[in-house]
Amino acid sequence: MNILVTGGAGYIGSHAVKLLLRAGHRVVVLDNLCTGHRESVPPEVPFYQNSLTDREKITAVLREHKTEGVMHFAAFIEVGESVREPLKYFQNNTAGAVGLLLAMKEAGVKKLVFSSTAATYGEPDETPIVETSRQAPINPYGRSKWFVEWILRDTVKSDPEFSFTALRYFNVAGAAKDGTIGEAHHPESHLIPNILYAAMGKKEKICVFGTDYPTPDGTCIRDYVYIEDLISAHILAMAAQKPGEANFYNLGIGHGYSVREMLDAAEKVTKSSIPIEYGERRAGDPAVLYASSGKIQQELGWKPQVTDIEEIIATAWNWHSRHPNGYAV
Ligand SMILES: NC(=O)c1ccc[n+]([C@@H]2O[C@H](COP(=O)([O-])OP(=O)(O)OC[C@H]3O[C@@H](n4cnc5c(N)ncnc54)[C@H](O)[C@@H]3O)[C@@H](O)[C@H]2O)c1
């Protein structure tokens, strides 16, 4: 297929580009590089440094490359920042998606895979979280994505030829198995890279927020899905879409690891002692979050291949230890 990847220079998008090419698809990237890295995209891939708001340009790119489907990763992702600057998030994540949809409509592109998030569930009533669990996001980031899910539902209702799959990711983790690309957010708010920065001395210590949660070791439990498994779900989802479909799937591995378990695993992988500071719980951090991904396993045959946390952390360590300054090295 001819696929446009928005946000293709970001952490997840760059892995999508790599695996789409490997699967034989023709890929074009649109990324304004506000947080992405040009070096993470192979030079032979057509690259447009444009924003989601550049509607005419996107329409022209979609037409020029005879695009058949779009994978939409481009967004801002910092929960804390979204609380301080909500409009920035609604403009980029929500209005940005509308701009993309208008361009797709103009160019007659009918298939979309959208990066949604577990943050659309907020603090869940039940675990494992299933797709029909109540969605009640507790921050503007989660709401900026949740609104897009509704916009997509309405778009399908108005155009029976259009179809989409919204994939609600839990914690995405790890790096390409060949070590060529990895996670490089600035600032970095995700646990695994921050643990690894502490292991390599780039960060003084790792803060563990809360040790008195009702979990076996008192620290929070989260579901970590390996990046290449996450991307394989996108490829399956795009291939399976039929006109008029509105699909929603959770992407997690169906069980979680505690922060303490993550630290132990990282110490084993890095063969180092990681400096830790224990602090208070953070507001809005539920004790346990993990997904049921039974629906996508049943309907699309998706099966995560890498679920051992040491193995996942080892792929990240392979990247971070060789790129201590991200793509600047
Ligand atoms: N990383 C996670 O664990 C996680 C979890 C749930 C959902 N997601 C979603 O996955 C997607 C990708 O996340 P990521 O971790 O790769 O983030 P990232 O910041 O690494 O990548 C986002 C990319 O989008 C680009 N971008 C942002 N706004 C743009 C705009 N207006 N026009 C063009 N390009 C723009 C950035 O330059 C960057 O390359 C996001 O939509 C995010 O909400 C990520």
Domain count, the chain: 2
The band of 10, judged by pLDDT with boundaries at 50, 70 and 90, is very high
Question: Are 232 and 123 members of one domain?
Answer: yes
Banded model confidence at residue 283, pLDDT cuts 50, 70, 90: confident
Indicate which CATH number applies to the domain containing 246.
3.40.50.720
| Per-residue pLDDT reduced to its tens digit, 221-270 | 999 999 999 999 999 999 999 999 999 999 999 999 999 999 999 999 99
Same domain, 13 and 155: yes
Tokens of 63: 């037409």
H/E segment holding residue 206: strand 206-209
249 near 237, Cβ under 8 Å? yes
Options 11, 48, 141, 290, the catalytic residue: 141
> Is the same domain home to 17 and 91?
yes
Structure tokens at 1: 């297929």
Q: What phi, psi does 257 have (nearest 5°)?
A: -125, 145
In a domain, 183, yes or no: no
- Considering the domain architecture, whether residues 166 and 214 belong to the same structural domain is answered as no
pTM: 0.97
Count of residues in the chain:
329
What are 25-68's pLDDT values in tens digits?
A: 999 999 999 999 999 999 999 999 999 999 999 999 999 999 99
The confidence band for 328, taking pLDDT boundaries of 50, 70 and 90, is: confident
Using omega within 30 degrees of 0 as the cis cutoff, is the peptide bond preceding 42 cis?
no
Q: Is the CB of 120 under 6 A from ligand 1?
A: no
Euclidean distance between CA atoms 320 and 329, whole angstroms: 11
Indicate if 327 belongs to the active site: no
In this structure, are 55 and 198 located in the same domain?
no
Q: Which domain holds residue 264?
A: 191-222+254-328
Indicate whether 159 and 305 sit together in one domain. Answer: no
CA of 37 to the centre of ligand 1 (A): 11
pLDDT at 329 over 70: no
Whether the CB of 33 sits within 6 Å of ligand 1: yes
Residue from 12, 145, 222 whose mutation best tests the ligand 1 pocket (most atoms within 8 A of CB): 12
